Amino acid sequence: MNESRLVPPRNSGESLSGERETQPLDVLQQRLGHTFAEPQLLRQAVTHRSAGADNWERLEFLGDAVLGFVVSRLLFDLNPEVSEQQLTVMRANLVQKNALANVAADLGLSTFINLGTVEDKSGVAEHNAIRADALEAVLGAVACDGGIDAASRVVERLYGDRLTELAGIAEKDPKSRLQEILQAKRLDLPNYTVVATTGEEHARVYHVECAAEGLSVRAGASGRSLREAEKRAAAAVLAILAPHREDDD
């Protein structure tokens, strides 16, 4: 997959009077690369609850699940040598709210969102949470309209190189990555504690807890060796931290 990230022409989204203007939905369909058989689904997907009862909330619920599955499948296919723990971290980096907001910004999604009058004037269309929710709703609408294959094509188109840029993350040991994050924040290094060992001596399983006390995060994992269990526990902590990483950068 060599398709570069979709970046629409810059558009302020404002009229000369200072009021925000929304663009026609056929433009959004072109950017998505999907023509809706039922255009009302897309209309609903870009309608905030402040603009009416027929809004995006149910489609957002569906889109969240669709995105998780599609990204998981794409990462699974693109990274055949990557472990389950590493795939989990990679997926978390792609589906967290800030990542979704960035994809939505590349799509210019805020210029299509329908808002109530008060919300429209407040500028909430540019808020990360609103853009992320709207993107999930749009993906839910695509899945309803064209099925999971259509949703997969749209996700691959929108995410572009983001799906392959995480390769470097997968190659680095999760213990090293976690240590780097904590050192960058000048926090204490993580603690690894063996909380239990099970199994016969020749088939011992280690259960380890990793605690990043400075970030008030801890998670546990198991492995056939102490090193494997520690790496998996560190990966579990990274997966918890991923949704908050961009907020702190």
Cβ atoms within 10 Å of 129's Cβ, excluding its own: 12
Angle separating helix axes 226-248 and 97-107, nearest 10 degrees: 50
Distance of CA 189 to the CA centre of its chain: 27
* Catalytic (active-site) positions: 64, 136
Q: Apex CA 157: angle with CA 153 and CA 160, to 5°?
A: 130
C-alpha–C-alpha distance, residues 74 and 171, integer Å:
17
User: Under a CB-based contact definition with an 8 Å cutoff, are residues 12 and 23 in contact?
Assistant: no
Distance of CA 240 to the CA centre of its chain: 13
